Structure 1
Amino acid sequence: MESQNTEEVIKEDVECDDENSIRIMIATDIHLGYLETDRERGNDSFVTFEEILEHARDKEVDMVLLGGDLFHINKPSPTTLKKCLETLRKHCIGDNSVYIDVISDPKLVMNNNINFLDPNLNIALPVFTINGNHDDPSGPELVAALDIVSNSGLVNYFGKCTNLNEITLHPLIIQKNETKIAIFGLGYVKDERLAAMIKNNKVKYMKPTNDKDIIYILVLHQNRPERGTAKNIAEDSIPSFFHFILWGHEHECRIKPEYNTKQHFHVCQPGSPVATSLCAGEAVQKKWGILVCNKQSYKLKPYDLETVRPFVFENYTVEEDAEHEEEEIANTVDRMIQDSKKQLTGNPRQPKLPLIRLRVENCKTDALKINPIVFGQKYENKVANSNEILLIKNRINRTNRGVKGEFGDGEDQTFIDTCVEDLLKSFYEQAPEVNQLQSFLPSELNESVKRFINQEDRSVFGDIINYKMESIMKHFEETHVKEEDIGLELTKFQTTIAETTGEEFKSFLSDANRTQGTNRTMLNIGSNSEDEMDSSNVDEPPRPARGRGLRGGRGSRGPRGARGKK
């Protein structure tokens, strides 16, 4: 199948040949557990996840393909993990036949066997997923919550990157009669690192030697729009032999495939089915889709989600000569609440209280005398986010403070990260010596702030303080520094750390056991014992997978009811 013809392969008659069609449900960024302690919104992600799997069963798809961030954090609570397993078990286990087969070696792309080929499991709906930046592997053994779900036999987790010096991607080759697809999975890698690896040819795609008539699919979870130098992965850096790109991480729903005229492939961005930030991109109609692959052709059919909480986003400008602005703003919010009712689908499980976000730009010289918290109190039983309805931007005040540009309200998380990083770097470059950091590098502070924001790691600051104290004290003991030389020696130590690009610090941040480890070790700072490491900190190595070979098992079961034609 020539990639140059990709623009012509989306055809309306693809699905008519049911015997050879591989039907793939696609979705991404479910964010299970988002706001799980919120009384009103805590169940939103689970309701929509169940809807997605229900549609997959009702439409009798051959498999589900997810683009990362199944979980909102990489260490989900027991409640979130329990609900996830219950939902997967309810919809993925059953007596229906599986008509696809994996004809490549799964051990090249995943740690476990393909679940529907395991004779001990009764899988009716195979689910394949990569990890995202929210549920990425951590710790010395690089364990993710997805590993736990995968070990339970309910999902097929692939695309984990364990070598960040060079990445070699092998495909999962799936066949159904005369149709073959090759799926390459690339779990989240920090954009700057991945961009550099691509530039230096450190990302290898292992195409099958006999690749005739194969549809090539890439699943990745990275920044798509340009957000500054190396802050995104350019579409043009993806090899042109691919036909279809499933792009996770971006929350705006752009599920209709977009054709790249240079690389000759289609990019599909399903977006997140749950709003995790109150921005314009999240207010777009949420959808899921079915990708139908048949021999040398494919097409995607999108469907609206029915259980998504209504969300209305608008901008409002307060002009210099405006009067009674609070009353006008309140009238606008009231009208937005009425507009949100148009998004009700009639599905009994859809939450009724809407999300309302009014982005108010103040052009007056004086700041608006509106307290967003007090303003929202009168809407407490009318909206789901009463304490964050208004986002007030004082344009003139910002200019007077000398801050260039506009800060978003969560609409572009990577843009926020970039701004924070640049601001901290700029501050410490220009700050007088008295305000300079002595024990931390600005880059270390940046990494910690981003982890606190992106992964809701509430223990990160306490952990890094303990970690730095331990590192510095250990260095002082080893160098036998005198009291009067502490300042100079600390500067030398920080310079040495900076030259190592902070890899040890990043490794510490990603260690799942770091909280217990630092606290325990801090108690022994004054000890010279070499036995401070507790064996409980070391994960037991994974047991080798028990294979069945490449074919057979559940993939060869008999026909399923009305679709027995297969």
Structure 2
Amino acid sequence: MVQNDGDTWSSDDTFRVLIASDIHLGHLENDAVRGEDSFIAFEEVLSLAVQYDVDLVLLGGDLFDHAKPSPSCMFKCTQILRKYCLGDKPVSVEVLSDQLDNFSRAVNYEDPNLNVSYPVLSIHGNHDDPVGQHGVSSLDILSISGLVNYFGRCSDYSRVRIAPVLLRKGRSRLALYGLSHIKDQRLARLFLEKKVEMELVDDSGEWFNMLVLHQNRADRGPHNFIPENVLPSFLDLVVWGHEHDSQVFAAKDVKRENENFLVVQPGSTVATSLAAGEALPKHCVLLQLHQKEYIVTPLPLKTVRPFIFKTVVLSEENLDQEDVNEKEKVQSLLTEKVNEAIKEAEILHSGDPKQPLLPLVRLSVFFQHEGQDFNRVRFCQNFNGLVANPKDILIMKREKKFRERKERIDESSDVDIGGAAAEAADVESLLRAYYAAQPAERRLAVLSVRAVTEAVRDFTLKRDDDVFRRVLDAHRQRAVDLLLQSSAETVDEVDEQLKTCKEALDAADEESLRTVIAAAATAAATATKAAAATKKSESILLSSDEEASPSTRARGRGARGGRTRARGRGAGRGARAVSPPAPAPVERRSTPRRSAAQKTSSWLQALTSERTTRRRRDSSDIEISDD
């Protein structure tokens, strides 16, 4: 057990907080080899909380890997929390602030119906943020069940107000500020506009001010991360979630005037991607706080699956480029590198019986020319049963100095999506890079790139299966409404109107874009329901502004019966039956509804046909003479 700072720190006045982040429960839970990794690491974190007899467990977001965790994932999480956090040990931390304001309910260890020994406080991250009806997060479910104290949620994105959770233990006072995940572009803009407010308790200096947030810390482009210098200077310590590489160093200090705060970045407890940062040792953190003095102690995790990441540059290896068997030499070299990585992983075995034995191995290989590339799937099959990720051991990339640079992109050429994927920080960045690399003739003409990337994000992280239909319906409805309101008649005019519509959506801020899409999607759904209702009613009754056809009127007036009566009279008089004269055609009245229908059907169909014919003519290499 970690001891206090000599005899000067009384245990009655010292906070002991275990800090972890990015647990990602349920990551690859259906994988036969790696499915239990996230749960094993989470159980070790909570076992360390019991071992060091902490007062609080603080989580920095992304407890779950998906916004809608599977029932099996939720069951295992609940099982682990109940095993380690419930008990009869009294909690000696007192909450001084308004608990309803902080947690939306009373803190769980003060609930007379629960016995909590190790209370868990958590914000949400981008993987477990509120989704669906009423914006319920998976943490809300754990909170209402009394297992987690969920705080730091923001409901007003036009101005963020952060009220601290005020905690007291003996003579030590802790003001804990929580800021759950907000999209980085939006939060960066709010900081820039001075619309993020953190309520300062007082200026007496008796409070230790700590912030836990879940945002990009590394620079991933303009306004796509949160710089440390925008955070208020009165903070003493910042716990930074979302970044997966562990950057925790032992520290013992007290903040002095005009000094910056200390940043603690616990990193993830499980490797969710085969990147270099994930191969660093995994930690959680023990924080000991006595009034304004603190000690930060990294606690290495011993049940994490070993991960070895290597970079191989073939131009720096001793390869004979003129050899006809160059591919075989490359494969032999990489086989040797993988075997070396497997041996290195054996050194990382901690001896803990729960630690998985099969290692993760990733080789990032830079090759010079196509003659050095080969069948990677067949190569990786040689390591089945030796590594935990036999399907994706290799990632092959062309060396930048040997990459072919074309002066122009041919219409038939493909975009180097592999290079874009290697440099992209997330799926949204990858999609934006892909569309930006397309030639002008192949870029999206109607759909907004931003709307598409947001839809992909919601589909992958929030499992919103209906998001693509809503976005496509909204764009189609908005384009049709714009064309009907415009005076466009030719194909070029229609193209210009659609281009203007797309540029307006791309230039709109995030809130305006979501509002426009929601309104257009609602209008599209209403139009679809109205069309279905009209079709159903027309199958039973005629429309009110349609005249019955002559044949319909004849059948309705008993035409068959009239012919029978005429035939009967003629037979009695010996006269030939005469057919009644055909009724004169009825002139159809022009109504506003009929005019709009004609414009939306024939006019738009003609434009669509003309655009299709024009595209086919442009793509053809055969010239047709006028005669």
Task: Give the distance between the partners of 1:166 and 1:21, measured in 2 at CA.
Answer: 35
- Establish whether residue 501 from structure 1 lines up as the match of residue 509 from structure 2: yes
- Establish whether residue 246 from structure 1 lines up as the match of residue 253 from structure 2: no
Following superposition of structure 1 onto structure 2, how do residues 535-554 of structure 1 map, counting pairs within 5 Å?
none
CA contact (8 A) 2:166 2:176 kept: yes
In structure 2, what residue type is equivalent to 1:104? S
Q: Deviations over 1:273-301 (max 9, x none)?
A: 10001011111111111100112211111
Q: 1:356 aligns with which of 348, 356, 361?
A: 361
Task: Give the distance between the partners of 2:138 and 2:475, measured in 1 at CA.
Answer: 28
Deviation at 1:26, TM superposition (A): 0.3
Task: Give the distance between the partners of 1:510 and 1:87, measured in 2 at CA.
Answer: 40
- Establish whether residue 464 from structure 1 lines up as the match of residue 471 from structure 2: yes
Task: Give the distance between the partners of 1:458 and 1:370, measured in 2 at CA.
Answer: 37
In structure 2, what residue type is equivalent to 1:289? V
Following superposition of structure 1 onto structure 2, how do residues 13-412 of structure 1 map, counting pairs within 5 Å?
13=6, 16-139=9-132, 141-209=134-202, 211-256=204-249, 263-319=259-315, 321=320, 323=326, 324-362=329-367, 364-395=368-399, 399-401=403-405, 407=419
In structure 2, what residue type is equivalent to 1:503? E
Task: Give the distance between the partners of 1:464 and 1:300, measured in 2 at CA.
Answer: 47
CA contact (8 A) 1:466 1:522 kept: no
Distance 1:162 1:425, change over 3 A: farther
Distance 1:233 1:401, change over 3 A: same
Deviation at 1:365, TM superposition (A): 2.9
In structure 2, what residue type is equivalent to 1:380? N
Task: Give the distance between the partners of 1:45 and 1:489, measured in 2 at CA.
Answer: 50
CA contact (8 A) 2:435 2:443 kept: no
Q: Deviations over 1:286-340 (max 9, x none)?
A: 1111100112211111111111011111111112635411101101101111111
Q: Deviations over 1:341-367 (max 9, x none)?
A: 1111111111111100011111x3334
Paired position in structure 2 for 1:4: none
Distance 1:490 1:289, change over 3 A: same
CA contact (8 A) 1:183 1:218 kept: yes
Task: Give the distance between the partners of 1:412 and 1:91, measured in 2 at CA.
Answer: 39
Q: Deviations over 1:56-101 (max 9, x none)?
A: 1121100000100001111111211121112112211111111101
- Establish whether residue 442 from structure 1 lines up as the match of residue 449 from structure 2: yes
In structure 1, what residue type is equivalent to 2:120? V
Distance 1:388 1:436, change over 3 A: closer
Deviation at 1:396, TM superposition (A): 5.5
The range that moved more, 105-114 or 460-469, is 460-469
Distance 1:456 1:306, change over 3 A: farther
CA contact (8 A) 1:171 1:183 kept: yes
CA contact (8 A) 1:239 1:263 kept: no
| Identity fraction in percent | 34
Distance 1:126 1:408, change over 3 A: farther
**How large is the RMSD of aligned CA atoms in angstroms?**
3.4
Task: Give the distance between the partners of 2:340 and 2:223, measured in 1 at CA.
Answer: 42
Q: Deviations over 1:149-191 (max 9, x none)?
A: 1111110111111111100100001101111110000011111
TM-score (norm 2): 0.74
Task: Give the distance between the partners of 1:135 and 1:338, measured in 2 at CA.
Answer: 37
Task: Give the distance between the partners of 1:15 and 1:472, measured in 2 at CA.
Answer: 71
Secondary structure (helix, strand or coil) at the match of 2:277 reads helix
In structure 2, what residue type is equivalent to 1:327? S
In structure 2, what residue type is equivalent to 1:424? Y
In structure 1, what residue type is equivalent to 2:451? E
Task: Give the distance between the partners of 1:157 and 1:510, measured in 2 at CA.
Answer: 29
Deviation at 1:117, TM superposition (A): 1.4
- Establish whether residue 413 from structure 1 lines up as the match of residue 422 from structure 2: no
Deviation at 1:137, TM superposition (A): 1.7
TM-score (norm 1): 0.81
Task: Give the distance between the partners of 2:19 and 2:48, measured in 1 at CA.
Answer: 11
Deviation at 1:135, TM superposition (A): 1.0
Distance 1:84 1:522, change over 3 A: farther
In structure 2, what residue type is equivalent to 1:285? P
In structure 2, what residue type is equivalent to 1:343? L
Secondary structure (helix, strand or coil) at the match of 1:444 reads helix
In structure 2, what residue type is equivalent to 1:413? A
CA contact (8 A) 1:315 1:359 kept: yes
CA contact (8 A) 2:131 2:462 kept: no
CA contact (8 A) 1:14 1:299 kept: no
CA contact (8 A) 1:14 1:297 kept: no
In structure 1, what residue type is equivalent to 2:284? W
Paired position in structure 2 for 1:549: none
Task: Give the distance between the partners of 2:121 and 2:107, measured in 1 at CA.
Answer: 9
Task: Give the distance between the partners of 1:117 and 1:148, measured in 2 at CA.
Answer: 18
Paired position in structure 2 for 1:547: none
Q: 1:431 aligns with which of 426, 434, 440?
A: 440
Structure 1: give runs of 5+ residues left out of the alignment.
1-10, 530-566
In structure 1, what residue type is equivalent to 2:15? I
Deviation at 1:438, TM superposition (A): 3.7
The range that moved more, 64-73 or 132-141, is 132-141
Secondary structure (helix, strand or coil) at the match of 1:413 reads coil
Paired position in structure 2 for 1:540: none
CA contact (8 A) 1:287 1:302 kept: yes
Task: Give the distance between the partners of 1:361 and 1:14, measured in 2 at CA.
Answer: 56
CA contact (8 A) 2:482 2:497 kept: no
Q: How many residues align?
A: 510
> Which has the larger share of helix?
2
Structure 2: give runs of 5+ residues left out of the alignment.
407-414, 535-627
